[in-house]
Structure 1
Amino acid sequence: MAKPLTKTQLVAALAEEMGADKKAASAALDAITGVITKEVSGGGAVTLPGVGKIYCRERPERMVRNPATGEQIKKEADKVVKMTIAKALKDSVNG
């Protein structure tokens, strides 16, 4: 499996794709990240065309097991960030 791109590598690739300098690409990436974070943390969802949909889902209170001791404990309800991958991306990866 290939190593994931670092932020520096992603900014360089984005700058090349945009035909802009790395400073502008970094600002664009930070802006996109900020918008996604604000929207999802507020309970909304963001769709990235061709990539997928990022959203927040609530998990109910549940019983979990401590793997070290085997003890059952109650875990409070919480939220988790999920992502559904777009069909176009799945199809491009699989063939």
Structure 2
Amino acid sequence: MKKSELIDAIAASADISKAAAGKALDGAIDALTAALSKGESVTLVGFGTFYVGERAERNGRNPKTGEMIKIPAARSPKFRAGKGLKDAL
């Protein structure tokens, strides 16, 4: 499903215009991004939890040259599905 299809589904489900549904979706994504950038988690009961995962610095290998390289530590977004979503699948 693409973003435009999701907007169409939200508009139909909530009986609002596509423009309003698009603004609502953009607002939700912006709020989710802002919370994750602060290191907070976002829990949608029954759907799941978005949180920030930490990866430690580690050694890797350049596949082209075989040379050892350091892969820096990183933060990445993660998602843990809730019971309602798992049951729906």
- TM above 0.5, yes or no, is yes
Q: Deviations over 1:48-73 (max 9, x none)?
A: 22221111122111111222222221
Work out whether 1:62 is the aligned partner of 2:58.
yes
Q: Could you say which residue in structure 2 is the equivalent of 1:30? A: 26
Structure 1: stretches of 5+ with no match in the other structure: none
Q: Could you say which residue in structure 2 is the equivalent of 1:19? A: 15
% same residue: 42
Q: Deviations over 1:1-22 (max 9, x none)?
A: xxxx111111010000001110
Deviates more, 1:67-76 or 1:11-20: 67-76
23, 42, 63: which one aligns with 2:38: 42
Q: Could you say which residue in structure 2 is the equivalent of 1:81? A: 77
Separation in structure 2 between the aligned mates of residue 15 and residue 59 of structure 1, nearest angstrom? 38
Structure 2: stretches of 5+ with no match in the other structure: none
Deviates more, 1:80-89 or 1:31-40: 80-89
**CA RMSD of superposed structures (Å):** 1.1
Q: Secondary structure at the match of 2:79?
A: strand
Provide runs of 4+ in structure 1 moved above 6 Å: none
Q: Secondary structure at the match of 2:53?
A: strand
Separation in structure 1 between the aligned mates of residue 45 and residue 19 of structure 2, nearest angstrom? 24
Normalising by structure 2, what TM-score? 0.92
Q: Using CA pairs under 8 Å that are at least 6 residues apart, name the structure with larger relative contact order, 1 or 2.
A: 2
